[in-house]
Amino acid sequence: MTGKVLQDLIKAQLSSVMTDHSGGTETWKQLPNTKCQVGYDGMKSLLRIPIDSGEATNWKTRNSLLRSRISISTNPYIYLSFDFDNADRLAPFLVELVTSVDESDEDSSEVLEELLNRWSGYWSETKPIFNKEDQIGTLGELLVLEKLLDLKPTLQTLETWKSPKMKDDLHDFEATKGNLEVKTSSSVPRSIYVGSINQMDHEIIHPKSLLIVLVKLNPGSEMTLPSVVERLRFRCSQLGISVVFDEMLKKRGYRDFEADVYAEQAFDLDAIEQHTVDLNTPIYTNRDINTVYPAVVRVKQIIDPTMVGFSPINSNEWTTIAENIGI
């Protein structure tokens, strides 16, 4: 079922189980087509999730809205407890939790801990889960993905977008003959951030090539992250790959219920430029630093792109770029 359907179902079941509660201990209802149940204990709304095993624990406060504990009175479960008045605010988190529990091969307790960590910014009223830097970075990646899908509209092209997997912090796109790293700058003077000492080491991926694509944005009104997402959703729906795209977006950190927050940042596209990384690229790599400072294992760099040697990408050059990286 879709996230919206599941969200409405969870809220309806939470309301229903409160109505059905007749005193005593706990009343429970199964969430259809899931492993999870919602309940009510006379004071708090509950969600319980089956786990493989565990020792019983007391209630633990997880944030301003949630408590959790492990119960083994019948079968082992993780219990979540919260005020019903907070159900609307919690619903998006509960949807992702229930979906992840049903789909993941991990133990449910590990799934819960990962999600609580990922959603840590959500429990603060002023912070979206997806921070502004991630929003801008994702916008740049999606603009490049849109160009590549225009050239070769296939699932294979979509799956070259590797940022959603977040298995490493190297490159945003990986194809058969080359990788592509997108850097997005939304302020002047322009700068780009390199978070990994290995990110600009083209020899790591030899014989594949490494291309940096610089997306230059200016404050404006031409586009927002949600507007570009909707463009790509429509394109992917035409290709029959919208489900895959939506899942990748979610893994990247995008949340539809935060779209109004993302839309507060609006931009005009200034230019998209490129630089093929080679030995002369003036950005530190592991090889440069370890020969002099062998104890250094991580360096973060802020780069002035005017010193790197970027060149504009003309419309007909996207074909060459796609061919060069193997799309």
- The Cα–Cα gap between 278 and 284 comes to 12
pLDDT digits (tens, 9 = 90+) for 48-84: 999 887 788 999 988 888 999 999 887 899 999 999 9
Using CB atoms within 10 A of its CB, is residue 66 exposed (0-12), middle (13-18) or buried (19+)?
buried
Residues 6+ away with beta carbon under 8 Å from 112:
49, 68, 78, 97
Please, what is the angle between helix 3-20 and helix 87-103, to 10°? 110
CB 31 within 8 A of CB 20: no
Residues 87 and 16: beta-carbon distance below 8 Å:
no
245 in helix, strand or coil? helix
Residue 295 burial (C-beta neighbours within 10 Å; 0-12, 13-18, 19+): exposed
Per-residue pLDDT at 128: 63
SS3 readout for 191-237: CEEECCCCCCCHHHHCCCEEEEEEEEEEEEEEEEHHHHHHHHHHHHH
What pLDDT score was predicted for residue 121?
74
CB contact set of 31 (below 8 Å; sequence gap of 6+): 6, 9, 10, 13, 37, 38, 98
Measure the CA–CA gap between 299 and 139, rounded to whole angstroms: 25
Q: Which residues contact 191 (CB under 8 A, 6 or more apart)?
A: 185, 302, 303, 304, 305
Would you tell me the crossing angle of helices 132-151 and 225-239 to the nearest 10 degrees?
30
3-state secondary structure of 272: strand
The answer to whether residues 248 and 285 touch, using CB atoms and an 8 Å cutoff, is: no
Neighbours of 219 (CB within 10 A): 11
Which pLDDT score, from 0 to 100, does residue 139 have? 97
Each residue of 239-284: pLDDT tens digit? 999 999 998 998 898 988 788 889 999 999 999 999 999 999 999 8
The CA–CA distances, whole Å, from 181 to 42, 83, 240, 314, 322 equal 53, 44, 26, 18, 13
Lookup: tokens for 83: 């005020």
Which residue ranges of the chain lie beneath pLDDT 50?
Answer: none
- CB neighbour class for 110 (10 Å; exposed up to 12, middle 13-18, buried from 19): exposed
Q: Looking at residue 320, what is its pLDDT?
A: 96
pLDDT of residue 326: 96
Instruction: Show Cβ contacts of residue 221 under 8 Å, excluding neighbours closer than 6 positions.
Output: 266, 268
